[in-house]
Amino acid sequence: MPTLWKAGMAVLIVCLVASMAIAAVRLATTPTEILGDGFRGLPARQAPR
C-alpha cells in the first residue's frame, strides 16, 4: 500500500472516532437542551375509542 493511502486511512479513522465522540456527547446532553427546566413529563396516552 502506498504511504499516502495509509496516511489517508489514518486521517479517516481519526475523523470517524472524533465524530462518534461528538455524537455521543450531544446525545447525552440533548434531553435537557430540548426539554428545558419547565418540562413536566410526556402527556399520558389516550385510550383508543
What is d(CA 41, CA 24) in angstroms, rounded to the nearest whole number? Answer: 24
Note down pLDDT in tens along the chain; length 49 residues. 799 999 999 999 999 999 999 999 888 876 655 555 666 666 667 656 5
For position 46, what pLDDT does the model report? 62
Listed by start position, the domains of the chain span: 1-34
For position 48, what pLDDT does the model report? 60
What is d(CA 7, CA 15) in angstroms, rounded to the nearest whole number? Answer: 12
